Structure 1
Amino acid sequence: MRMKDHREKPPAHLTIRVGLQDDPVSQVTEYDTLRASVRYPSVVVRGPVFGFAEQRPEDGSRWRLLSDMDSGFPQLARDSLNSYLWFTARDDTEDRKLRRRLLAAVARLDTRPVNEVAVGDTRYRIVRGDEFARIGPEGLEPPRPTDPEPPTGDLGGLGDRSPSRTKGFVVDHAAATGIMQGIQRMEVLSLAYRSERYPKDVREDSLRALETHPGVVLLPAAFAVAEEKEDAWEPLTVSLPTPLDARRSLVNHLTDILPRFHGVRGEEAAAYARAAEKYRAAPGDELRVRGRCFRIIRVERLIRVGPDGPETPRPSDHDPEPPMRIHPVMDDRGNIVRD
């Protein structure tokens, strides 16, 4: 489409609809976002993440995420899509024709690193995103007062993770948004891997994506634990749905991960355990123990969008594992077939 046509009716992937949201909750969130943009004005890229989405005929140009955007490699997301389709074929349909189509898609994912498969009129796609965090003179941004928290503040155990806020998210570039989120989306339109510390092919793919997928959609914020080092902040955990989940993960890091995987023993381990117990009683966004500083940080994620929807993995994305069959063979009646 030519640029003069864009002026008459911009395509969805180039449209950002911004409007005044005058309900009290939105107004507080807008103010919170504005204040954060002043205190943490810069952005640092954490790296790519991957998930998968579907587009049904009734969705038009919109795509719906079916997974958390938390896979570190494209093949992990392909394997997750493989499992999703296999279990759908086994458990969610009695239609033999549909089951054959689902299993045909599974067979492709078993043998080829494909980023899109179709089942009838439904398209399934591996989606690429980027994680980033905001930073200022005080370091990485912690959770905001308006970020969602579960009703209980009980740190509990890792098995008590909150429901995903990403699964089910609709990737709709033209959906109406608040003023501050609209501004923030404009701020990250040109976000790319430009530093010389990235390989040349990574930088080239990143800059190319600005042209092929010029739109940006922001996902719900996630939260993680980071440790302050001499000249940087080092993420210690995966991104989690709420600040409470990240606080639970910090307790687990101190009481389980350090002794089990980092050789922490004796009095040192006891000191971390005592710090974890104190933190359980009065959790917050920062914990200092034995000269180390741990912080609960706010992680933002974006998906780049082009004329045909969300971006798929790039050629330069690290993908160390090949595809393989991960489930038994099934026939169109839903029976498992022995090899």
Structure 2
Amino acid sequence: MTDHHQAPPDHLVINVQHRDDPVSLVTEADALAASRTYGKIVVRGPLFGIAEQRRGERPRWRLLTDMDTGYPQDARDALNSYLWFKAKDETDDPRERRVLLDAVARLETEPLNELTVGDTRYRVVRADEFARTGQGRLEPPRATDADSEGWDFLPRTPSNTKGFVVDHAAAVGLTEGLDRMGLVPVSYTSDRFPPDVLADSRRALRTHPGLVLLPVVFRVMEHKEKSWSMASSQHPTPQDARRSLVYYLKTYLPMTGEVDEREAAVYARAADSFMRRVRSNELLVRGRRFEIARIERMMRIGPAGPEGPRRSDVDDQGPTKIHPTMDEWGNVDSNNG
């Protein structure tokens, strides 16, 4: 007989918890207002990173990277480096170092998406990046999004993704719970995707029916006639993205020779004007429209945890040796790179 009182598995549970503290109430109201204005989503495509699961932490996983690379092999290379430096700097035990270096050696020759080293499982994990749209624009930062101050790049704002715990059953507020339920059935549908990509996206709804939202990040986006293009990497706060836009206009464009001296001065004046505004999220210059966009990422979860790369994901790079050879005593062969 079926035990109807048995709790459902964690990857099928969305644990919504009422929160009545002032900050949560304002955040919920801000999210509700944004959903009315920016009611559609645009999925850009996959991002990859590395997650770890230590003994005793199951079923939770912890992200080791920022989930900001577009190719699985870049994530594998990040794991290669992570384990190499762990062997170099975090142990004096030759046996433990040997185990770590054996894992590095495998990653130098095998396109592994999962690897167990000692008591820890490592996995290449996948998330889809998307933005909300409405009224002809991408959703800008919300008033309740964490922000930073000033125009100096240093010190850097700490990552809000690295260290994030992927726990499908963790309690969330009402709005996030509703968001997750609404996103669960979302798959790729655009005819710009090849048939195998569309098929894998539909298949993931069955194999990984759960869904977790990662911390929000921000990008500089340039609005084209019928689309948007990325003009920056992802940033943990809107102000970090604004700084990136100023750098692009005042330093990057002249450095690359894309604009002459006269045009460079126009872009520099536009950047200076942008910096004098208070938390501005849009800039028009020379017929170009730049926006600071609020970017979200959804990670699908199955019975065994976060989804890994799909067969149809672009994965043309091969594994390679990244760091010099090291022995179990920590000696690095600088002539063998």
TM-based fold match above 0.5: yes
Question: Equivalences for 1:227-306 in 2 at 5 Å?
Answer: 227-261=222-256, 263-282=258-277, 283-306=279-302
Aligned length: 334
Q: Distance in 2 between matches of 1:311 and 1:5?
A: 29
- Normalising by the residue count of structure 2, what TM-score does the alignment of the two structures yield? 0.95
Report the Cα offset of residue 200 of structure 1.
Answer: 1.1
1:82 equivalent to 2:77? Answer: no
Residue 112 of structure 2, aligned match among 111, 114, 127? 114
Structure 2 gap segments, 5+ residues each: none
State the match for 1:178 in structure 2.
173
4+ residue segments displaced more than 2 Å: 4-8, 256-262
Question: Equivalences for 1:129-208 in 2 at 5 Å?
Answer: 129-150=127-148, 153-157=149-153, 159-208=154-203
Report the Cα offset of residue 58 of structure 1.
Answer: 1.5
Change (3 A) 1:142 1:328: same
Cα deviations by residue, 1:29-69 (Å, 9 ceiling, x for unpaired): 11111111111000000111111011011202100001101
Structure 1 gap segments, 5+ residues each: none
State the match for 1:220 in structure 2.
215
Change (3 A) 1:261 1:210: farther
1:310 equivalent to 2:306? Answer: yes
1:127 equivalent to 2:125? Answer: yes
Residues 10, 169 of structure 2: 8 Å contact kept? yes
Residues 254, 261 of structure 2: 8 Å contact kept? no
Counterpart code for 1:99: R
Cα deviations by residue, 1:142-182 (Å, 9 ceiling, x for unpaired): 000000012xx21123x543110001100000001000000
Cα deviations by residue, 1:215-235 (Å, 9 ceiling, x for unpaired): 100011000011111112222
Cα deviations by residue, 1:280-335 (Å, 9 ceiling, x for unpaired): 22251111112221110000011110000001111111123210010111111111
- Normalising by the residue count of structure 1, what TM-score does the alignment of the two structures yield? 0.95
Q: Distance in 1 between matches of 2:17 and 2:43?
A: 28
Change (3 A) 1:277 1:185: same
Aligned to 1:135, the other structure's residue is in SS state: strand
1:333 equivalent to 2:301? Answer: no
Cα deviations by residue, 1:117-137 (Å, 9 ceiling, x for unpaired): 111121011111111000011
- Percent identity (aligned): 56
Q: Distance in 2 between matches of 1:233 and 1:30?
A: 28
Q: Distance in 1 between matches of 2:297 and 2:175?
A: 16
Change (3 A) 1:223 1:6: farther
